[in-house]
Amino acid sequence: MTRKIWVFDTTLRDGEQVPGAKLNLREKLGIARQLKRLKVDIIEAGFPSSSAGDFNSVKEVAKKVGNTDDIMITALARAVKSDIDAVYNSIKYAKRPLIHMVLGTSNVHVEKKFGKSKDQILDIGVEAVKYAKTLLPDVQYSTEDASRSDFEYLWSTIEAVVKAGATMINVPDTVGYADPEEFGHLIYRINERLRNLNDSVILSVHCHNDLGMATANTLAAVKNGANKVECTINGIGERAGNASLEEVVMAIKTRPDAYNAHTDIVTREIMNTSRMVSEFMGLDVQVNKAITGENAFAHSSGIHQDGLLKSRDTYEIIDPKDIGLEDMELVLTARSGRHAVRAAFERLGINQFEDAEFEEVFESFLELADVKKEVYSHDLYVIVENYYKKRHKEGEKANSYSDYFYELLDLQVIDNTKFPSASVELKKGDQFMKGNAVGSGPIDALYSAIIDVCDLDIKLIQYDIRSVSRGKEALGKVQIQVEYEGEKFIAKAFDTNILRSSAYAYINAINSIIAESIIPKAENI
Ligand code: KIV
Ligand code: ZN
């Protein structure tokens, strides 16, 4: 069995320090429950001495999420009695509470922040640990700014607090200054001495991302003996953020040869957790972010798509299902090759093309991809239907798949404080339909007006909007996730008019539902 690496999640404490990312109690509890599903070992739920609200939410997390043996709940204290009391009084409801305290060890912290001598600071730390140990058996001590500290002073602090009873030592790269080789060496030296001093103490690291090296530094520490990592979901946190949980965990899982270790994380919950944190905190995940970015598993180059279809491992080192994504997303674009397009048709059950027929279909695909940029499965039905119509001149009316799909003709949205309202005009085959609705806001009214026409019981789970180009004519990209009969569908759309892109995205989602779960498969086209 490989060495277990403990995962300490500080999304609700360091992550919540991001300006504007404040969570309410319901959201904090939601994230804490999801972290438990993800099976992190420790949740740091907040900084209770900072406000009554924070105290209360830590207490609720301790009571409602920390009520089982499989998870520890902690919260942060400075090395002062009132902070330690606030942590104890908020986490004591958990089955396995842990007091976490922090005190600086670098010259700049000791001299400039505290204006004290090194000996005085060391004594304060030792007294704080001794006090915390009168309250609880498990105490973590963080040597803030460790990576910029004088090694012998850092070590004498660690030695003294371990002798005072600290059960976990956390070595932070507080300002993201370390480099992987140097940080690995620091952890190696500490680990060597710690193993001689007290083998049962957990050695932990907490890395910030100011130079983009938080994940690399954390992994270097794992290689050099750290057996606990402190991370946040999506890498959020103070300034440039913390080491990202999903990156550290998936690196350990994907490269057992390099790390010879494992975590207990249920990696299939990674995407759900990432989306929840992003949604609740209002912080978008960068599109090309490793593991959880929108493009992390999207292959758009024709050469890559062709390779993937021959064998996944040509261009994919992680199975998307492992992190909770349904499957790799082959975004069909004008750059997609024949192999990818044929495979997309086959996934829809359309597999009867002779080579010459397929060439014609592929030509139509390229024409559409030029106009639409991204081609969905329902577009493929339209392509194939047009192809057969062309081929048989008039075509078979009964088999016309575009009769099932909706198209937006026009929309009007009126926003006011009392009754935001919307009306839409849609087309399906040769039917023209109008829908109207009021809603709690303009988008809610717009989506209700579309449902007024389509009459499907759809739940909107996620709605994201952002600009994907610059200037006055910038394209607004809307991405949504909806649920229909327990199945989730993602759709997106671009337009310079954000109400139109919102409507197109919703109609794309509806058409995907129709394509995938309502109309019969296309063998009999
Ligand atoms: O960055 C840091 O040093 C911290 C400590 C509280 C661990 O967040
Ligand atoms: Zn931090």
Of 117, 171, 180, nearest in space to 144 by CA: 171
Give the Cα separation of 284 and 462 in Å (integer): 12
Domains 3-281 and 403-521 share a fold: no
Q: For strand 459-467 and strand 431-438, is the pairing parallel, antiparallel, or unpaired?
A: unpaired
Ligand 1 contacts (CB < 6 A) are 14, 76, 102, 142, 144, 170, 172, 174, 206, 208
CATH number of 3-281: 3.20.20.70
Of 279, 224, 272, nearest in space to 245 by CA: 272
pTM for the full predicted model: 0.72
Give the Cα separation of 136 and 15 in Å (integer): 26
- Token readout for 283 is 């912080």
Q: Which tens digit of pLDDT belongs to each residue from 138-151?
A: 999 999 999 999 99
Kindly give the distance from the C-alpha atom of residue 174 to the centroid of ligand 2, in angstroms, as a whole number.
6
| CB contact at 8 A, 384 and 378 | no
Q: Which tens digit of pLDDT belongs to each residue from 59-117?
A: 999 999 999 999 999 999 999 999 999 999 999 999 999 999 999 999 999 998 889 99
In this predicted structure, what is the pLDDT of residue 82?
98
Q: Domain ranges in the chain?
A: 3-281, 298-399, 403-521
Of 88, 57, 94, nearest in space to 73 by CA: 94
| CB contact at 8 A, 408 and 424 | yes
The contacts of residue 165 (CB under 8 Å, 6+ apart) are: 129, 130, 132, 133, 139
The contacts of residue 437 (CB under 8 Å, 6+ apart) are: 421, 422, 423, 445, 448, 449, 451, 452
Kindly give the distance from the C-alpha atom of residue 207 to the centroid of ligand 2, in angstroms, as a whole number.
7
More confident residue, 224 or 479: 224
Give the number of C-alpha atoms closer than 13 A to the C-alpha of residue 390, restricted to the C-beta side. Answer: 10
pLDDT at 453 over 70: yes
In this predicted structure, what is the pLDDT of residue 525?
34
Give the Cα separation of 502 and 495 in Å (integer): 9
The residue assigned the tokens 């990202």 is: 244
Query: Residue 164, Cβ neighbours under 10 Å: how many?
Result: 18
Pocket test for ligand 1, best of 8, 10, 12, 14 (most atoms within 8 A of CB): 14
| Residue bearing the CA closest to ligand 1, atom 1 | 174
> Which atom of ligand 1 approaches the CA of 13 most closely?
8
- Token readout for 273 is 């957790």
Of 165, 101, 96, 170, nearest in space to 133 by CA: 165
Give the Cα separation of 387 and 47 in Å (integer): 63
Phi/psi at 6 (5° precision): -70, 140
Instruction: Write the Ramachandran bin of 515: left for phi over 0, alpha for psi from -120 to 50, otherwise beta.
Output: alpha
Question: What mean pLDDT is predicted for residues 500-513?
Answer: 90
The residue assigned the tokens 């909107």 is: 460
Kindly give the distance from the C-alpha atom of residue 481 to the centroid of ligand 2, in angstroms, as a whole number.
32
Pocket test for ligand 1, best of 80, 106, 113, 142 (most atoms within 8 A of CB): 142
Give the number of C-alpha atoms closer than 13 A to the C-alpha of residue 65, restricted to the C-beta side. Answer: 32
Domain 403-521 - what CATH class?
alpha beta
Query: Residue 310, Cβ neighbours under 10 Å: how many?
Result: 10
Range of weakest confidence among 207-211, 367-371, 420-424, 480-484:
367-371
> Residue 209: which pLDDT band, with cuts at 50, 70 and 90?
very high
Pocket test for ligand 1, best of 10, 50, 144 (most atoms within 8 A of CB): 144
> Which atom of ligand 1 approaches the CA of 175 most closely?
1
| CB contact at 8 A, 525 and 399 | yes
| Residue bearing the CA closest to ligand 1, atom 3 | 174
DSSP string, 142-156: EEETGGGS-HHHHHH
Q: How many helices (H) and strands (E) does the chain have?
A: 17, 16
- Token readout for 134 is 């009168």
Q: Which tens digit of pLDDT belongs to each residue from 424-433?
A: 999 988 899 9
Instruction: Write the Ramachandran bin of 351: left for phi over 0, alpha for psi from -120 to 50, otherwise beta.
Output: alpha
Q: For strand 431-438 and strand 421-428, is the pairing parallel, antiparallel, or unpaired?
A: antiparallel
> Residue 356: which pLDDT band, with cuts at 50, 70 and 90?
confident
**Mean pLDDT, the chain, integer:** 89
| Residue bearing the CA closest to ligand 1, atom 8 | 14
| CB contact at 8 A, 483 and 450 | no
**H or E stretch including 486?**
none
In this predicted structure, what is the pLDDT of residue 487?
81
- 357 strand-pairing partners: none
The residue assigned the tokens 């607004």 is: 476
In this predicted structure, what is the pLDDT of residue 350?
72
DSSP 301: S
